[in-house]
Amino acid sequence: MPKLEYAAICRGYTVLVSYQDERGTENAERYLTDFLCTFSTETDIKASFYGGSFKFHLEVQSGVVFACGAIPEAGVRLPFLFLTELSKRFNLTSLPSRAYNAEEHEFDREFKFVIKDILDKFNSGNSGDPQQVIQGQLHSVESIMHQNIAKTLKRGAQLEDIVAQTEALENQT
């Protein structure tokens, strides 16, 4: 089950581009726009709020809102790492200069699949988060240690068999 289910880039309460995982059953965009109608986007800020079964995380940069809807169990770290990556990728395009005059969902054709790719990357655990990388390495080392212990125990049993056979041959002579 994905931890991050929805993402959007908005100007004020106008959604310029959004993507929702097709497995999502709730309309995340409705909760986001309802909240943005009551929220000032004039100052750069990071914020979180609950809407339906989602916990939304927002990052406002120069009037542009980067938002994602996550399951509450996703915590805070992963969604904000996602928002950092989303804003970085968005700012590498020509879209920021067009954002202030753009219509609702005007950037869907150009940027929706970029959002999907980033969501998929973060939901698959390939976010580049140092904590996740270390946990993956730790799990790998732990797995190798279990394999080595199993091999050592097997070799020990084989050595006991060889010793027993050697003693049996010595007793026969």
Domain parsing of the chain, residue ranges: 4-127, 129-173
Structure letter (DSSP) for residue 154: H
Q: For domain 4-127, give the CATH superfamily.
A: Longin domain (3.30.450.50)
Q: Which residues pair with 106 in a beta bridge?
A: none
pLDDT tens digits, 73-122:
888 999 999 999 999 999 999 999 999 899 999 999 999 999 999 999 99
Q: Quick one: pLDDT at residue 81?
A: 94
* 8 confidence band (pLDDT: 50, 70, 90): very high
User: 47 phi and psi, to 5 degrees?
Assistant: -150, 165
Counting Cα atoms < 13 Å in the Cβ hemisphere of 74 gives 30
The DSSP code for 55 is: E
Q: What is the pTM of this model?
A: 0.72
Question: Would you give the end-to-end CA distance of the chain in angstroms?
Answer: 68
